[in-house]
Chain A
Amino acid sequence: MSEHRQLIIIGGGLAGHAAALSARHNGYGGRITILAEESSIPYERPPLSKAVLQGKKDPAELAFQPNGDYSGDEITVLTNARAQEVDVRERRIKVSNGDTLAFDDLLIATGARPITLESPGFDLDGVHYLRTIEDARQIQGDLESAESVVVIGAGFIGSEAAASARTLGKSVTLVDMADAPMSAAFHPDIASVCAAIHEDQGVELRMNAKVTELRGSGRVQQAVLDDGSTIDCDMVIVGVGVHPNVELFEGSGVEIDNGILTDEYCRTSVPGVYAAGDVANWWHPELKQRLRVEHFDNAGSQGTYVGQVIAGAAEEPFAPVPYFWSDQYDTNIQYAGVASDDSEVIIRGKPEERSITAFYLDNGAICAAVTINNAREFRSCRRLVAARAEIDPDTLRDPETDIRKLSRDYR
């Protein structure tokens, strides 16, 4: 590989970090530069909604690179550096610090940003979104004096933020338009366990409800729901999903459709331009469908993979089993696979003790699995998903079945 090539990575999240290291370790001999928009070098975001909000972890400890030092791998990380214009034909990027950088290879790892709500009062002080260290610092600061918190959106961020606020002893109301928390990710019989976990902890759930307005003088004091009821509060945390950051590439020639479109090698429609992480909508060659995954594990594995592609070292297409986890209170939740609305769901374990393993079956084959407070079984379940194992539903349902033993044949 030529030592004169230049790889620029737009985005200082996990995908960008992983891709830079992977490209270097797989033999990329040219210059590698990461443009990171935030003031921090690439860092781990999952603790923001958990240990950081609870004041148990200093954000300064979250950097991926031990000691924050990339020099050993000859990787340059520019912080506070926002890509302002990209010309993929002339191979040039204008950066917010005034520089223009030339590239041969470009990785789009711009991630996603929280969807913001525009209803009345959402511009009041004390209304928060969570994506960055700075967001987490502000929420953590507000939580110190708040007594009552309204969380809007009961997906990953909302559920974890609610759990953190409740763990700190705050009075918490969790509001979502769905029937139960985590409903976008999980079948209703699994989501109902997530609901019970919040209720056990004393969170007030307001499902099938929408916040239509926030009220307060300068600072938020009350949330108004669509049934006319009101909830007094000192702060609001909104977690209603994210938008992929694609705007920089509109009209650039790079194809966009719900993210940056790529093939199964993470290559965009423009040669030498790649995408990975939350922003990438790639073709999964085994599932034969497009996926855009907004989770930590995908950013890491896709970043690592695209680094191999850029270094000319990838042999197989990118075809992972999608995976995510969530930690809420002392509950560990994990999921692997891709389910459809038609999947049959089999639940084993003890929902009343908030400990279950669930399998999704498509035409008799295991296509996804979930564990809640049952991490010991998770990797075994994942193996069955990866193998698309066809196992008799009665065997899966039978409490006597040892899933760890059963999965050994698929190791």
Chain B
Amino acid sequence: MPDPNEYVEVMPESMVEEGEMYPFDLDDEQLMLAKVDGKIHALHGICTHEYAELWDGDIEDDVIWCPLHSSGFNVETGEVTNFPAVVPLPVYDVQIEDGTVFVSKKPIRNDPDDR
């Protein structure tokens, strides 16, 4: 099992459906899982442009679209693919063990603390 100091248990892998997003809380932050082409990703769940819950948006190909103003984020890298957002979305590490999805407590890309 991943180090509980660094990873948090989220949900069973079998419940994560292709093309869907699943919000969860990590301390005071709202994160989400997103499954694209069979791979589960974990990203920050709130748009970097204005407050919007990205899991209410949509996934097309490898882009997550914000429901409010159509900012686009690459699901793998968190990079912005479409304005109005200009700041990339934090991406977290995903580990799957014994059918359970674990997510890193710290972003592995686009950590706001590094900015």
Contact = CB atoms under 8 A, between A and B. Distances in A.
A18 B86 CA distance: 11
A411 B59 CA distance: 9
Contacts of A327: 68
Given A379-B65, A411-B19, A300 B82 contact: yes
Interface string B28-72: 000000000000000000000000100011101000010111100
B11 interface: no
B67 A375 contact: yes
A411 B60 contact: yes
B106 to A, nearest CB: 21
Contact of A378 (B60, B67, B82): B67
Contacts of B19: 408, 411
Q: Is the interface of B mostly helix, strand, loop or mixed?
A: loop
A376 interface: yes
B83 A18 contact: yes
25 contacts: A18-B83, A44-B84, A46-B84, A64-B83, A64-B86, A66-B86, A297-B83, A300-B84, A301-B82, A325-B68, A325-B69, A325-B70, A327-B68, A332-B68, A375-B52, A376-B56, A376-B67, A378-B67, A378-B70, A379-B57, A379-B65, A379-B67, A379-B70, A408-B19, A411-B60
Q: Counting chain B CB atoms within 10 Å of each CB, which of A18, A408, A411 scores highest?
A: A411
A33 B60 CA distance: 34
A209 to B, nearest CB: 32
Interface of A: 14, 18, 44, 46, 64-66, 296-297, 300-301, 323, 325, 327, 332, 334, 375-376, 378-380, 383, 404, 408, 411
Nearest to B59: A411
Q: Is the interface of A mostly helix, strand, loop or mixed?
A: helix
B60 A300 contact: no
A255 to B, nearest CB: 28
B54 to A, nearest CB: 11
Contacts of A378: 67, 70
B87 interface: yes
Given A325-B69, A332-B68, A411-B19, A380 B58 contact: yes
Contacts, number: 47
Contacts of A65: 86
Given A323-B70, A325-B68, A332-B68, A379 B84 contact: no
Contacts of A66: 86-87, 115
Contacts of A325: 68-70
A325 B69 CA distance: 6
B27 to A, nearest CB: 25
A18 B81 CA distance: 12
Contacts of A300: 82-84
A306 B69 CA distance: 22
Interface in B90-106: none
Nearest to A377: B67
Given A300-B82, A411-B60, 6 more contacts: A14-B83, A46-B84, A66-B115, A325-B70, A375-B56, A376-B56
